[in-house]
Structure 1
Amino acid sequence: MKKYIYILGLALAMSSCEDFLTRDDPQGITDEEFWKTSGQVESVLGQCYNLPHGFHHYTAPYVSMVHAEGLTDNSYHGADYEGWIVSVANGTVTAEEGKMKDLWSERYKIIRKCCRLLENMDRAYFVDEPEREKIRGEAIILRVYYHWELMRWYGLVEGIPIVDHSLTPVENFMPRSSASEVYDWMLNELDRAIAVADLPFKYDDSRKTKVDRSVAYALKSIIALNAKRYEIARDAAKRIIDSGEYELYYTSQADNDPGKNFRDLFRSVGQNNKERILYTSAGLREAFFRSAGPGLGQQCTVHPLQGFVNAFETKQGKTLDELGTDSLDIYSRNPLYHNNRDPRLGLSVIMPGDSTTFTGYTYNPFSDGPEAIGRPNATRSGFMLKKFIDPLDRNKPYNGSNAFYIIRYPEILLNYVEALIELGDWQNADVLRYINDIRRRADMIEATAGVYNAQDKVRQLMRRERRVELAFEGTRYLDIRRWGIVKEVMEGPIFGAIHPDTGKPIQIEERIFISGKNEVYPIPQSEILANKNMTQNKGYFGNE
């Protein structure tokens, strides 16, 4: 073995078994000595699982996906950490930003672990040979997932380096592959994983947090949709739908609260559901602490915006824009006017005057108390995030046990619908069928073909449904780029609630968006300096 192995231009500094997976162990262990048993292989596979969480932010390799909604028109990131989210959102991020380096280098480190596993696992002895093949399939899927993460942040325009084997020093200076080449490679790799006969379509509960063929199909659908390869996206999503393995969650609770099925999906009562496809156990462990404000003794870090609040329809299925300026003004001042909104709004956002979240608590950001807008740990928008709060976590704000759903079934349904619409098959009965399945579960009125009688009308319905159903789950960042509306929604002032004393919305900041630049993050400057073949994304220093 070689003395040191690098990932692209960034040298690695690790220790123990993890050190061995990224470079030669300083004490001289070799591949022949390490890869002996199935237990060792399974241990390495465990290190290849480093999937995103919702809120917890202390581990460098991932973006906390709920916080990352601050990269979109749904939210403003108001924490005193992860300030890079604000600078990306307002268009001021630079290649020197430390998080750019962390995301890039840590993801390539874990990709190397996947490569090392795939290259060496056949050395080990397995009593159960099908288990070897299951591990092989999982490792292939995970390696694609981490490439996809890098693509979504850095490579949507110009691609990223494909690392499909552990690099030698000679290969250290890898150039990018084009975006099209990366899409080809990822989709082909997912097909390779799907072809692993011993990898089940869906693992049983004993391995429910592991990736399987259903995850491969889900990723295939997501990746192909963003590549605008709609036939592939449609067929992969339909494979999951037709499997019968997944379904929308309906709660066992007997109350009559509107939207209770959507509500309980994100609470402890709904954790054992058939909607989750890929998730992180306890990925919402800090949901209460990071969502609620100082009036509850917590640290509000996620500040929903008025544009997001206004995206929810009335119970009659009307958008606020359809109702006209007078109604828009009424609902902007009082979003839950006469309780006449999509129930998901009141279950996603804590609004001024809300007294339904916790017994004995009413939210008032316009008072002189600790939750006044702009006070330490208080919201800057006048809205707080409610979606992932479980009242049971009030007594354990740092240690909630609920899962964060990275991919869940409604996303696949909406992927399928979007692919049909963009293929010109918008009148297919499945389009309104699956949109209405999601709306019905949320206790919303069904959309009808009489109203949604043109391709663009159905497209706007699908996009609106996607925004409100999947909010704060990590999809909006890619959606607005794929739909070509990112400049439209990310440039200009962003607003919170209307202040009752002034009658005007609270302006939080002015965002800028430069087309041809801000669609992606900058490649970290350290990588540009270390790798002579690496090029910077357009618009950033070195490639203005």
Structure 2
Amino acid sequence: MTFTLLNSSCADFLNQEPISNSSVTGFYKTQADIEQGVAGAYNSLQSYKQYGANFIYFMEVRSDNTYTESITTSGGIYGDFDLFRTVPTNSILDLTWAGCYEGIQRCNLVLGNIDNVVMSEDLKNQYKGEMLFIRALTYFNLVRIWGDVPLVTKEVQDPFDAFEFTRTPTSEIYQQIVTDLNEASELLSEKVIVSKIGSATAGAANALLGKVYLTLKDYPKAEVALKKVIDSKVYKLLDNYADVFDVTNKNSAESIFEIQYNKDITDQGSRFANIFAPKGSTEVTGGVGTSLGDNTPTEDLYGKYEEGDLRKEISIGQVSDGRIYCKKFVIAPVLPNQSDANFIVLRYADVLLMYAEALNENGYKADGDALNYLNDIRKRAGLEVYTAGELSSQELFREVVWKERRFELAFENHRWFDLLRTGKAVEIMNASANGEFRIEAYQLLFPIPQSQIDAAPDKMTQNDKY
């Protein structure tokens, strides 16, 4: 039987060093060992199995924002996400599941061993907070993609122990996410440590906690968590929308948490330019590597930007043959799949829009903070602000905030999850399908990878109708 919950085989699992073999080698003995383990957890987020590539298909291509130019590339494994034809044997499902649990295992290893290591308590608390944040973020992605998933909060020392894990109810997963983020917010520093640019902060924990509560429709708690981020005064909207995505302005004052990439370190560069550039084109990449034409903006999105919206030309580029492409997170690579653009997971504009939404849900006010924060976003985009008279009801305000999120946060891996949490996914996707597909409610979750079912058929069950 093949072990696949955390990796592709028992041998692969045991051969990971130092990430998964610590129980055998006693690796975690020094501060340097812990720091290497922490770096490994961040690397899991950076991997192509998560934010480096695969999440784009789950979170943007799946939505009405983008599509794949060629649905037959690699046997259709990417195009199937676009057309709602994903089957349990799709290898992207398997790789992403494994990548997420690899990251969780790395967090659990650090959390399970750090108290035995001699180091300053302040630094120990910081690293604990970072691992709790990454674990919570990873489970938040897992539960929104697959629903019930195995909840593993301890190091899996024996690979065969993984066969004991079955799917945990979504409600329990969310309880763990909330617990981890509340603890992380207490342990983490409020400001980024200069020597640890890109590491999680209390602001990141609270921003993510606010998003979790918004997803759970617990609007009072969402309001509290998001207000902590605003009141911290650590973050701000940049004056120029373009500066948020300027590769020379990484980790800006608007950025709360972003995945770090570096073109000058082998295998540490980002793949976005090669993934996003129109298929077969060389203008975006300078001819370096293959251009896939994935995450291509839909005509629906492109045509719905308001006249004068400054975000449109910053978010969407166009090559000489007229094809458009996702311009965010794109800078020409120095080698194939080796570019310098980071990927932003959480930023202050998202917090302001979520806070405005939470305020509105907690009690509509015609002319309050919610309207002010919404208009702050619009002013920067070069658009006219809304008046209280135009948004004269809770329902009108709700719809406008949801709409604004689409254009402000396009291509940042929020759209599919926004459609899910607002209950709009089936309606909007069927309206946008142009007859290519018609989705049903069961397709709001992805199929559990078949490898997981095969590894433990008496423990793992498949999502309905797959």
TM-score range, shorter chain: 0.7 to 0.9
User: Paired residue for 2:265?
Assistant: none
Q: 1:459 to 1:493 in 2, by over 3 A?
A: closer
1:533 and 2:462 aligned? no
Structure 2 residue corresponding to 1:383, chosen from 324, 332, 337: 324
Structure 1 residue corresponding to 2:196, chosen from 190, 201, 207: 207
Residues 52-103 of structure 1, C-alpha deviations (whole Å, 9 max, x = no match): 55xx84x578644555521110111226359434212322111111121211
Structure 2 residue corresponding to 1:193, chosen from 167, 184, 194: 184
1:432 and 2:377 aligned? no
1:164 and 2:162 aligned? no
Q: Secondary structure at the match of 1:511?
A: coil
Residues 2-39 of structure 1, C-alpha deviations (whole Å, 9 max, x = no match): xx9984797443378834532467xx52x3xx332111
User: Paired residue for 1:179?
Assistant: 170
Return the offset for 1:202.
2.0
Q: Secondary structure at the match of 2:84?
A: coil
Letter in 1 for 2:302: V
Letter in 2 for 1:468: F
- The answer to whether the 8 Å contact 2:238/2:244 transfers is yes
User: Paired residue for 1:132?
Assistant: 124
In 1, Cα distance between equivalents of 2:44 and 2:383 = 33
Question: For 1:51-200, what aligned pairs fall within 5 Å after superposition?
Answer: 52=45, 57=48, 63-66=53-56, 68-78=59-69, 80-81=73-74, 83-126=76-119, 128-155=120-147, 159-167=148-156, 169-170=160-161, 172-196=163-187, 199-200=188-189
In 2, Cα distance between equivalents of 1:82 and 1:52 = 26
Structure 1 residue corresponding to 2:311, chosen from 328, 337, 344: 344
Return the offset for 1:131.
1.2
User: Paired residue for 1:281?
Assistant: 260
TM-score (normalised: structure 2):
0.86
User: Paired residue for 1:513?
Assistant: 439
In 2, Cα distance between equivalents of 1:61 and 1:16 = 25
User: Paired residue for 1:264?
Assistant: 243
Deviates more, 1:277-286 or 1:135-144: 277-286
Structure 2 residue corresponding to 1:36, chosen from 19, 29, 41: 29
In 2, Cα distance between equivalents of 1:426 and 1:525 = 49
In 1, Cα distance between equivalents of 2:151 and 2:460 = 13
Letter in 2 for 1:35: Y
In 2, Cα distance between equivalents of 1:61 and 1:456 = 33
- The answer to whether the 8 Å contact 2:3/2:455 transfers is no
- The answer to whether the 8 Å contact 1:6/1:172 transfers is no
User: Paired residue for 1:354?
Assistant: none
Q: Secondary structure at the match of 1:405?
A: strand
In 1, Cα distance between equivalents of 2:247 and 2:97 = 34
In 2, Cα distance between equivalents of 1:194 and 1:209 = 16
In 2, Cα distance between equivalents of 1:20 and 1:399 = 25
- The answer to whether the 8 Å contact 2:45/2:103 transfers is no
- The answer to whether the 8 Å contact 2:311/2:407 transfers is yes
Letter in 2 for 1:183: Y
Unaligned runs of 5+ in 2: 263-268
Question: For 1:241-320, what aligned pairs fall within 5 Å after superposition?
Answer: 241-250=230-239, 261-271=240-250, 273-282=252-261, 285-293=270-278, 294=281, 296=283, 299=291, 300-314=293-307
In 1, Cα distance between equivalents of 2:12 and 2:464 = 33
Structure 1 residue corresponding to 2:416, chosen from 457, 460, 477: 477
- The answer to whether the 8 Å contact 1:440/1:446 transfers is yes
In 2, Cα distance between equivalents of 1:414 and 1:141 = 22
In 1, Cα distance between equivalents of 2:389 and 2:51 = 48
In 2, Cα distance between equivalents of 1:346 and 1:473 = 16
- The answer to whether the 8 Å contact 2:223/2:355 transfers is yes
Return the offset for 1:112.
1.6
Greater fraction of residues in helix? 2
Q: 1:396 to 1:161 in 2, by over 3 A?
A: closer
- The answer to whether the 8 Å contact 1:61/1:106 transfers is no
Question: Larger Cα Rg: Structure 1 or Structure 2?
Answer: 1
Q: Secondary structure at the match of 2:320?
A: coil
- The answer to whether the 8 Å contact 1:10/1:527 transfers is no
In 2, Cα distance between equivalents of 1:249 and 1:61 = 24
- The answer to whether the 8 Å contact 2:54/2:92 transfers is no
- The answer to whether the 8 Å contact 1:89/1:490 transfers is no
In 2, Cα distance between equivalents of 1:134 and 1:5 = 33
Would you say how many aligned residue pairs link Structure 1 and Structure 2? 445
In 2, Cα distance between equivalents of 1:189 and 1:479 = 23
Residues 352-382 of structure 1, C-alpha deviations (whole Å, 9 max, x = no match): xxxxxxxxxx7333xxxxxxxxxxxxxxxx4
Q: Secondary structure at the match of 1:529?
A: helix
Residues 169-227 of structure 1, C-alpha deviations (whole Å, 9 max, x = no match): 4563222221111111110121122232xx31122332121112111111111111112
Return the offset for 1:400.
3.4
Q: Secondary structure at the match of 1:448?
A: coil
In 1, Cα distance between equivalents of 2:297 and 2:6 = 38
Q: 1:535 to 1:304 in 2, by over 3 A?
A: same
User: Paired residue for 1:337?
Assistant: none
In 1, Cα distance between equivalents of 2:275 and 2:139 = 29
How well do the aligned residues superpose, as a CA RMSD in angstroms? 2.9
Letter in 2 for 1:491: N
In 1, Cα distance between equivalents of 2:116 and 2:298 = 54
In 1, Cα distance between equivalents of 2:113 and 2:253 = 35
Deviates more, 1:75-84 or 1:137-146: 75-84
User: Paired residue for 1:334?
Assistant: none
In 2, Cα distance between equivalents of 1:85 and 1:414 = 31
Unaligned runs of 5+ in 1: 251-260, 315-340, 352-361, 366-381, 496-508
1:240 and 2:229 aligned? yes
Letter in 1 for 2:346: I
Identity %: 27
Letter in 2 for 1:232: K
In 1, Cα distance between equivalents of 2:51 and 2:403 = 31
User: Paired residue for 1:411?
Assistant: 350
